[in-house]
Chain A
Amino acid sequence: MAANATVRIDMELPTDLARLRLPEGVDRRLQALLDKQDRGEPLNVDEAAEAEGLVELSELLTLLRLRAQGSGSSAAE
């Protein structure tokens, strides 16, 4: 196989996807970073990258949850 070959993996989403939640400790870490910034202490490069990643993770989990709920209600109709 060539080094740059693309491998496609089809995955079925679990039916209990709506149960995926942002861990409390992760939420608290994100709050701590936002608190620091809000106190007027700029985030360093690593902290800014971490905060950006945590925001994206939380939004991704939110979207998965909303879509799981949406597909659940569609299936029930």
Chain B
Amino acid sequence: MNRDYVPLSLQRRVRDRARNRCEYCGISQAFQEATFHVDHVHPRSEEGPTEYENLALACVSCSLRKGARTHALDPATGARVATYNPRHDRWNEHFAVGEDMRIVGRTPSGRATVELLSMNRTLAVAIRVEEARCGRFP
């Protein structure tokens, strides 16, 4: 695995800060099959630095869908807004978890991020339901 551009010691600090949870959808690394990814929040393609304050832990689904994107459309208004930034924003201000374990965006940024990252795909919701049953989610 070529992760030289994010030193392992830095990756460990990022995982510890996130308490091994995806900083976007909130799912825990425990019992997940794929290894969560350490992502640049502000993308490398836009000169985002490889430093602690610009990195976030993301599950493979959120990581793949976010990519280098920092803006997306708010499905409620069609406006292009900044997506949720785990380094600057508070999760609870932008998202809520419904009783059915679907994630609901509470702000334009939250709604755009839920949509961009496809947080409510059938498989993702089903995993959250099982995790909730075990007391590991939300």
* Chain A residues proximal to chain B, CB less than 8 Å: 21-22, 27-28, 30-35, 37-40, 42, 51-52, 54-56, 58-63, 65-67, 69-70
Contacts and interface: CB of A to CB of B under 8 A. Distances in A.
Given A59-B123, A63-B130, A37 B68 contact: yes
Contacts of B93: none
Interface in B58-100: 60-61, 63-64, 67-68
Contact of B44 (A32, A38, A56): A38
Interface residues of B, number: 30
A67 to B, nearest CB: 6
12 contacts: A27-B33, A31-B3, A34-B60, A35-B1, A35-B2, A37-B67, A63-B126, A63-B130, A65-B33, A66-B134, A70-B133, A70-B134
Q: Which 6 A-B pairs have the closest CB atoms?
A: A40-B45, A58-B34, A66-B130, A22-B33, A40-B44, A58-B33
